[in-house]
Structure 1
Amino acid sequence: MGLLGILLGLSLLIYLAFRGASILILAPIAGLVAAVFSREPLLASWTQTFMRNGADFVAQFFPLFLLGAVFGKLMEDSRSVAAIADFLTHKLGTGRAVLAVVLAGGIVTYGGVSLFVAIFVLVPMGTALFRAAGVPRRLMPAAVALGTSTFTMSAMPGTPAIQNAIPMPFFGTTPFAAPGLGVIASLVMLGFGLWWLTLRERAARRAGEGFEGAGAIAIRDDNADAAADDPLVRERASTAREFDPAEIHHSAEARAMPPIAIAALPIVVVIVVNLLMSFLVLPRMDTAFLSAPEWGGTSLAAVGGLWSVIVALSAAILTVIVLNLGRIPGLQATLTAGANASVLPILSVASLVGFGAIVAALPAFAVVRDWVVNIGGGPLVSLAVATNILAALTGSASGGLTIALDALGPTYMRLAAEIGMNPALMHRVAVIGAGTLDSLPHNGAVVTLLSVCGVTHKQGYLDIVMAAVVGALLALVAVIVLGTLVGSF
C-alpha cells in the first residue's frame, strides 16, 4: 500500500502541475496522499517533514535565487545581455545565425544571467537574425536551449547555475567539481547540438524552407509579453528555473546598449571572483568557528561552494550598478523586480523538496531506495538514473536533483567512501543527470521558450530533444565511462 501511495501522490502532482495548478498547493496534497496510504500522521507529515525540509532548502539556497534573479534583471535592464548578443551577431554574421544565438546564450548564462532573462532578450534578436539569414523559425527554440540550458547549466566548471550549487553541501564540493570531465561534457553537448542544428538547417535550405516555413503560426510581435503574462506558463516556469517570468516587464530598460566591454565585464567578474573564492580566498580563511553550535555545527566543505557563488554574484551586481549609473531608468524598480522574481521559484522548488521529504520518510521508500542503489553499473549509473527520473517527473532539474540528494545523498557518500570514489565525480554526474530528461514537453522552460519564439511543440520540440536532451545524455554517458575508468579530473 505504501508504494501505491507514493505512485498515486506522484501521479497527482505530475498531472495537475501539467494542467497549470500551483505547485504550492499540489505538493503538500500529493505528499499527504502518499502519507495516508502508509498510515503516517498527516499533520506531522505536513508541519514536521514537509515544511521543515522545504524551509531548510529556502534557508540554504535563497541567497543564490535572490542574487541570481537580481543580477539577471540588472543585466537585462542595462541592456548588457542585448549588447553581448548584438556584438556576437554582428561578428559572426547572418551566415552563422545558429552559432551566434547559441554562443550568446552560453556566454550570458555561464556568466550568471537567469535563463528566462536570456530567453526574453535573445529571442527577439534571434528572430531578426534568423529572418535575415533565412533560417527556419522552428529551429530557434533548440538553438536558444542549446546555449542556455545544457553545458552552461550542468557541465561547465564554475557555472553559477543553481543546479551546480545544489550538490555542494551534500558532497562538500566546489562549483569547479571535476573540471576536466565538465569541459569534456560541455564539448560533447555543444558539438552534438551544433551538428544536429547544422544538419537541420541544411536540410531546410535544400527543401526551400525559409524563416516562416510551411505550417508556421502567424508572427506575433507580442509573443514575449503574452508568455510573460500567461498564468499557465508562469506556473510551469517557476518550478523549472530561478526566475519568475511575470517580473520580466516590471521595470524599464536603458534606451541604448552599453559598449561591449562594459556589458561583458560583470560576466567576467562572476567567473573570476568565483574562481578566486573557491581556490585562493576561502581555503586560506580560518573557518574552525563553523563547527560551533551557534554556526550550525558545519564546515567550510559544506558551505564554501555556496559562499563562492554568493560573493561572485554580489560582486557582479555591484559591478553592473557602478558601470551603469544613470543609464538604468529606475534602479529601484529593477532591483525590486529582480528580488520579486526569485520568490515564487524558490518556494515552488522548496515545495517539491517537501514532497520528496515526505516520500523519503515513508517506510515503503526503502524499497525504492534499494532498487535505485542496486541498479547495475555501479553508483554513478544509479545516481544518474535517480536524478534523471526525478527531474523528468517533476519537470525541474533543481527540484529533482534536491529530492534525489536529500533521499540518497548520504547513501552515495557512504558508497563513495567504501570504493574510494571522489565526491567531485558524483557532483558532476548528478548535475548533468538532472539536466537531461528535465526538458520534457511539460517543462516550464520548454513551454516558455516555445511560446516566446512563436513555435508549437509539433514544430520545434523534436529539435529541442536532440539539442538539449540527447546531447546531454551522450555527455552523461561519456562522463560516467571516463569517471569509472580514470576517476575525477
Structure 2
Amino acid sequence: MGLLGILFALGLLIWLAYRGWSILLLAPAAAILAALLAGEPTLAHWTQTFMRSAAQFIMQFFPIFLLGALFGKLMEDSGSVSTIASFMTEKLGAKRAVLAVVLAGALVTYGGVSLFVAFFVIAPMAQALFRSAGIPKRLMPAAIMLGASTFTMSALPGTPAIQNAIPTPFFGTTPFAAPGLGVVASAIMLAFGLWWLARAEAKARAKGEGFGDDILSTDDAKAADHASTDLIVRERATTAGAFDPIEIAHSQECAGGPPVVLAFLPLIVVIGVNLVMSLFVLPRLDASFLAEPAWGETSLSAVGGVWAVVVALAAAIAVLVAINFRRLPSLRASMDAGANASVLPVLSVASLVGFGSVVAALPAFALVRDWVLGIGGGPLVSLAVATNVLAALTGSASGGLTIALDALGGAYMQIAAEQGIDPGLMHRVAVIGAGTLDMLPHNGAVVTVLAVCGSSHRESYFDIVMVGVVSSLVALAAVIGLGTVFGSF
C-alpha cells in the first residue's frame, strides 16, 4: 500500500500541476497524502520532514536564485541582452538565422542570464531572422531551446545554472567538474541539434514552406506579451527556472543598449570569476572554521561550489551596474523586479524537494532505492536513470536532481569511494541526466517558449524533443561511456 500511495500521490501532483495548480499547494498536499496512505504521521512529516528539507534547499541555493534573477533582469533592462542579440544578427545574418539564434541563446545563458529572460529577449530577434530567411516559424522554439536550455544548462563546465550548482554539496565538487567530458557533451548536443534543425529547414524548403502568414505576426507579438502574465505559464515556469516571468514587465528597459564590448563584459566576469574562485581562490582558503557548530558543522567542499557562483554573479552585477548606471531608466525598479523574480521559483522548487524528502522517508521507498541502485550497467547508469525519471516526473531539472541526490546522494558517494569513481564524473552525469527528460510537454520552459513564440505543442514540440531530449540523451550516453573507460577528465 505504501508504494501505491507514493505513485498515487505523485500522479496527482503531476496531473494537477499540468492543469496549472500551484506547486506551493500541491507539494505539501501530495506529501501528506503519501504519508497518510503509508500509515505514517502526517503532521510530523509536513513540519519535520517536508519543511526541514525545503528549508535546507532554500538555505543552500537561495543566494544563487536571488543573484541570478537580479543579474538577468539588469542585463535585460540595461539593453545588454538586446545588444548581444543584435550583434549576433548583424554578424551572422539571415543566411545563418538558426545558428545566430542558437549562439545568442548560448552566450547569454552561459554568461548567467536567466533562461526566461533570454526567451523574451531572443524571441523577437528569432522572429525577424526567420521571417527574412523564409524559415518556418514553427522551428523557432527548438532553436531557442537548443541554445538556451541544453548544453549551457547542464554540460558546459562552469555554467552558473542552478542545476550545475546543486550537486556540489553532495559530491564536494565545483561547477567545473569533469570539464573535458562537459565539453564533449556540449559539442554533441550542439552538433546534433544544429544538424536536426538544418535537416528540418531543408525539408521545409523542399516542400515550399516559408515563415508562415505574416498577418499572424501581430498575434505572435500579442502572444509574447501575454506569456509573461499568463498564470498557468507562470506556475509551470517557476519550477523550471530561477526567474518568475511575471516580473518581466515590472521595470523599464533602456531605449538604447551599451556598446557590444560592454554588453559582453558582465558575461565574461561571471565566467572568469567563477573559474578563478573554483580553481585558485577557494582551494587555498583556510575554511577549517566551518567544522564548528556555529557554522553548521560543514566543510568547504560542501559549500565551495555555491560560493564560487555567488561571488561570480555578485561581481558581474557590480560591473554591470557600474558601466550601465546611466542606461538603467530605474535602477531600483529593476533591482526590485529581479529580487522579486527569484522568490516564487526557489519556493516552488523547494516544495518539490520537500515532497521528495517525505517520499524518501517512507518505508516503501526502500523498494525504489534498491531498484534504482540495482539497475544494470553500473552506478553511472543508475544515477542517470534516477535523475532522468525524477526530472521527467516533476517537470523540473533542478527539482528532480535535488530529490534524487537527497535520497541517493550518500549511497552514490559510498559507491564512488568503493569503486574509485571520481565524484566529478558523478556530478556531470547527474546534471546532464536531469536536463534530458525534464523537457516533457508539461515542463515550464517548454510551455513558456511556445507561448512566447506564439506556437503550439502540435506545431513545434517534436523538434524541441529532438534538439533538447534526444541530443542530451546521446551526449549522456557518450559521457557515461567515456567516463567508464577513461574516468573523469
Using structure 1 for the length normalisation, give the TM-score.
0.99
Deviation at 1:217, TM superposition (A): 9.0
Matched position secondary structure for 1:438: helix
Q: Please tell me whether residue 342 in structure 1 is matched to residue 342 in structure 2.
A: yes
Q: Which residue of 1 aligns with 2:477?
A: 477
Q: Which residue of 1 aligns with 2:61?
A: 61
The answer as to whether partners of 1:359 and 1:365 remain within 8 angstroms in 2 is yes
Deviation per CA, 1:174-212: give whole Å up to 9, x if none.
000000000000000000000000000111111111111
Tell me which moved more, 205-214 or 154-163.
Answer: 205-214
Q: Which residue of 2 aligns with 1:376?
A: 376
CA RMSD of aligned residues (A): 1.2
Deviation per CA, 1:247-292: give whole Å up to 9, x if none.
0010000010211000000000000000000111111111111111
Q: Which residue of 1 aligns with 2:48?
A: 48
Matched position secondary structure for 2:437: coil
Q: Distance in 1 between matches of 2:228 and 2:105?
A: 19
Q: Which residue of 1 aligns with 2:20?
A: 20
Q: Which residue of 2 aligns with 1:397?
A: 397
Q: Distance in 2 between matches of 1:262 and 1:214?
A: 35
The answer as to whether partners of 1:169 and 1:301 remain within 8 angstroms in 2 is yes
Q: Please tell me whether residue 127 in structure 1 is matched to residue 127 in structure 2.
A: yes
Q: Distance in 1 between matches of 2:216 and 2:181?
A: 40
Q: Which residue of 1 aligns with 2:191?
A: 191
Q: CA separation of 1:215/1:201 partners in 2, compared to 1, >3 Å: closer, same or farther?
A: farther
The answer as to whether partners of 1:78 and 1:258 remain within 8 angstroms in 2 is yes
Q: Please tell me whether residue 425 in structure 1 is matched to residue 428 in structure 2.
A: no
Matched position secondary structure for 2:228: helix
Where do residues 286-305 of structure 1 align in structure 2 (5 Å cutoff)? 286-305=286-305
Q: Distance in 2 between matches of 1:58 and 1:235?
A: 19
Deviation at 1:219, TM superposition (A): 3.5
Q: Which residue of 1 aligns with 2:281?
A: 281
Deviation per CA, 1:75-102: give whole Å up to 9, x if none.
0000101101110111001000000000
Deviation at 1:359, TM superposition (A): 0.2
Deviation at 1:225, TM superposition (A): 1.6
Deviation at 1:439, TM superposition (A): 0.4
Deviation at 1:216, TM superposition (A): 7.9
Q: Distance in 1 between matches of 2:225 and 2:469?
A: 27
Q: Distance in 2 between matches of 1:377 and 1:177?
A: 22
Deviation at 1:37, TM superposition (A): 1.5
Where do residues 239-318 of structure 1 align in structure 2 (5 Å cutoff)? 239-318=239-318
The answer as to whether partners of 1:31 and 1:359 remain within 8 angstroms in 2 is yes
Deviation at 1:213, TM superposition (A): 6.6
Q: Distance in 2 between matches of 1:45 and 1:392?
A: 25
Q: Which residue of 1 aligns with 2:72?
A: 72
The answer as to whether partners of 1:80 and 1:257 remain within 8 angstroms in 2 is yes
Deviation at 1:325, TM superposition (A): 1.1
Q: Which residue of 2 aligns with 1:319?
A: 319
Q: Distance in 1 between matches of 2:260 and 2:216?
A: 35
Deviation per CA, 1:396-422: give whole Å up to 9, x if none.
000000000000000000111110100
Q: Distance in 1 between matches of 2:195 and 2:219?
A: 28
Q: Distance in 2 between matches of 1:364 and 1:214?
A: 56
Q: Distance in 2 between matches of 1:282 and 1:430?
A: 23
**One-letter identity of the residue aligned with 1:422:** D
Deviation per CA, 1:83-138: give whole Å up to 9, x if none.
01110111001000000000000000000000000000000111111111111100
The answer as to whether partners of 1:137 and 1:213 remain within 8 angstroms in 2 is no
The answer as to whether partners of 1:101 and 1:122 remain within 8 angstroms in 2 is yes
Matched position secondary structure for 1:261: helix
Deviation per CA, 1:420-467: give whole Å up to 9, x if none.
100000000000000000000010110000010011100000000000
Q: Distance in 2 between matches of 1:329 and 1:94?
A: 32
Q: Distance in 2 between matches of 1:95 and 1:218?
A: 24
Deviation at 1:215, TM superposition (A): 13
**One-letter identity of the residue aligned with 1:107:** L
Deviation at 1:299, TM superposition (A): 0.9
The answer as to whether partners of 1:391 and 1:435 remain within 8 angstroms in 2 is yes
Q: Distance in 2 between matches of 1:132 and 1:215?
A: 15
Deviation at 1:214, TM superposition (A): 12
Q: Distance in 2 between matches of 1:437 and 1:9?
A: 20
Tell me which moved more, 221-230 or 170-179.
Answer: 221-230
The answer as to whether partners of 2:221 and 2:454 remain within 8 angstroms in 1 is no
Q: Please tell me whether residue 114 in structure 1 is matched to residue 114 in structure 2.
A: yes
The answer as to whether partners of 1:58 and 1:347 remain within 8 angstroms in 2 is yes
Matched position secondary structure for 1:221: helix
Q: Distance in 1 between matches of 2:379 and 2:349?
A: 26
Q: Distance in 1 between matches of 2:217 and 2:234?
A: 22
Q: Which residue of 1 aligns with 2:139?
A: 139
**One-letter identity of the residue aligned with 1:300:** L
Number of positions where the alignment pairs a residue of Structure 1 with one of Structure 2: 489
**One-letter identity of the residue aligned with 2:179:** P
The answer as to whether partners of 1:163 and 1:431 remain within 8 angstroms in 2 is yes
Deviation at 1:220, TM superposition (A): 2.8
**One-letter identity of the residue aligned with 1:293:** P
Q: Distance in 1 between matches of 2:76 and 2:138?
A: 25
The answer as to whether partners of 2:77 and 2:251 remain within 8 angstroms in 1 is yes
The answer as to whether partners of 2:374 and 2:382 remain within 8 angstroms in 1 is yes
Q: Distance in 1 between matches of 2:27 and 2:46?
A: 10
**One-letter identity of the residue aligned with 1:132:** S
**One-letter identity of the residue aligned with 1:34:** A
Matched position secondary structure for 2:253: coil
Deviation per CA, 1:15-74: give whole Å up to 9, x if none.
000000000000011011110111110110100000110000001100000000000000
Tell me which moved more, 125-134 or 218-227.
Answer: 218-227
